[in-house]
Every structure is written in C-alpha cells, then in structure tokens.
Amino acid sequence: MSKDMTISVEPCEQVYAATGLLAALPPRRNGATLYVCDFDNTVATEDVGDRILERFGGPDWIDWSLRYRRGEIGSRECLTRQYESFRADWDAYRRFVEEYELDPDFPRFLAAVRARGHRVIVVSDGVGNYISILFEKYGIAGVPVFSNYGVWNGDGRVRLQFPHFQPACEVGCANCKFRHVRLDGSGRKVYIGDGVSDQYGAQAADVIYAKDRLRDFLAARGVPHTAFSRFADVIVAEGLED
Ligand SMILES: [Mg+2]
C-alpha cells in the first residue's frame, strides 16, 4: 500500500465499482439517517482493543500498530501479527474488558436517534468480542455491530475471523468500513470516529464528526468535518436533544 492510497476513497470506490455493487444500489431513501459509529475511543472512552493487547498480547504489539499507522501494512496484517502472541483465558479477558466504560452520553444518543426513526450501527476494525461485553454491561441491545472477531481455542489462543474483509482491495483493512457506509441505502449518512481505520468509511458519509487522528487526517487533506470530543457534542450538533 503506497502513501498516496491513504489520500482519497478512490481505491475503495474502484473496488466496489468493479464488483457491480455500486451500479446495483437502489436510490437512497430520503428522511432516514444512518449514524455510523467507530467503537474504540469513540463509543468507548478508551481504545479498549489496544489496552487488551497491552495486557494479553506480546511486547511487539505496539510496533505493529505503529507500522499500521504509518501506512506500511493494512489492519488485517497488523491484527494477524499482533494476535500470534496473544494469550488470554476467556474469563480473565471478560473481567478485564468489563472494567472499561462507554461514553456516558452514548445511551442517550442511541435513544434519541431511535426515537426519531433513524439508525445507529457500530463499525470496528478491532477484534471486537469486547464490544458485546461492554454493550451488555450497559444494557444496550439491538445495535448492529460490524467487526472482526476472535474464536477462543482451549489454550487461550485466538483464531481471527474477518467477515467484512474485502479481498479485492489493496489497502488491506481487516474490516472494510467504507462498505458499511457506502452500500447503505439511507438518505443521509453521518460518521463518528477518531482513528486511522475510519479514514475511508468517514469519507463515504455526508457528514463527519472527527477527533484525534481522524481529525488530523481530514484537516490535512481539506476534507470537511466537524470536530467533536464526546457524544454530548454530537447530540447538540445533530439537534438530538429532548
Ligand atoms: Mg477508534
């Protein structure tokens, strides 16, 4: 993957144009909004995926992350390398994850969006088994989550699954976030995220709320976006207050 490929969504568009999926898309439904939320450091107050690797991964996990952030490898390769040395008993993993928190206003955001007949989905390029653990902790149900997953072997090792990988794409994202945004038929699409893995998915949306690395990325390339730091900001900006 060359540096230039991180500049636009052109490679993503080309991949899906070649599959014929874009030409076959039905007209976008007016009135309905799709809110696409990244999970780590967006819905969750921290990067839970990184904290898990820090605790249960090998010492080189951060080196792979840095290579990924520099655009040298895709996230699928990054996760695959990082999880080669991952060892965690499921119960210990679960207890560790349960200590983390969601943005305190995410449940209010979710309720307000649903009350207006709109939708929320979560897209994560982590190994997202922890998402359902945290949603359960907060009593959140019925939010579609698109993520990579791990299957626990008896010895604490994890076999990774990438159900949303796009093999025809050269970028190498483990979970193609672009697909979840671009191929949805909602009339208006809003993206909320913070990181490198959000750069393509965000640019397929009509409105972007960005912080941290995603904000820097978009600002450097002149892509219009709104800065945010927490869901309370999104609630106000989207007029979702009660
Ligand atoms: Mg994130």
Over range 119-128, report the average pLDDT: 97
pLDDT tens for residues 37-82?
999 999 999 999 999 999 999 999 999 999 999 999 999 999 999 9
Please choose, from the candidates 220, 192, 218, the residue with its C-alpha nearest in 3D space to the C-alpha of residue 207: 192
What are residue 152's DSSP bridge partners? 158
| CA 216 to centroid of ligand 1, rounded, Å | 14
pLDDT at 167 over 70: yes
Mean pLDDT of the chain: 94
User: What is the separation of C-alpha 165 from the centre of its chain, rounded to a whole number of angstroms?
Assistant: 13
Over range 156-179, report the average pLDDT: 95
| CA 125 to centroid of ligand 1, rounded, Å | 8
Separation between Cα atoms, residue 119 and residue 35, nearest integer Å = 6
pLDDT at 4 over 70: no
Tokens of 149: 């997953």
| CA 214 to centroid of ligand 1, rounded, Å | 9
Separation between Cα atoms, residue 118 and residue 116, nearest integer Å = 6
Q: Give the model's confidence band at 2: pLDDT under 50 very low, under 70 low, under 90 confident, else very high.
A: very low
Domain range annotation of the chain: 3-237
pLDDT of residue 28: 84
Domain boundaries 3-237, corresponding CATH code:
3.40.50.1000
| CA 196 to centroid of ligand 1, rounded, Å | 8
| CA 38 to centroid of ligand 1, rounded, Å | 5
Q: Give the model's confidence band at 7: pLDDT under 50 very low, under 70 low, under 90 confident, else very high.
A: low
pLDDT of residue 63: 98
What are residue 102's DSSP bridge partners? 44
| CA 139 to centroid of ligand 1, rounded, Å | 21
pLDDT tens for residues 202-242?
999 999 999 999 999 999 999 999 999 999 999 999 999 98
pLDDT of residue 31: 84
Q: Give the model's confidence band at 27: pLDDT under 50 very low, under 70 low, under 90 confident, else very high.
A: confident
| CA 191 to centroid of ligand 1, rounded, Å | 12
**Contact partners, residue 136, CB within 8 Å, separation at least 6:** none
| CA 69 to centroid of ligand 1, rounded, Å | 12
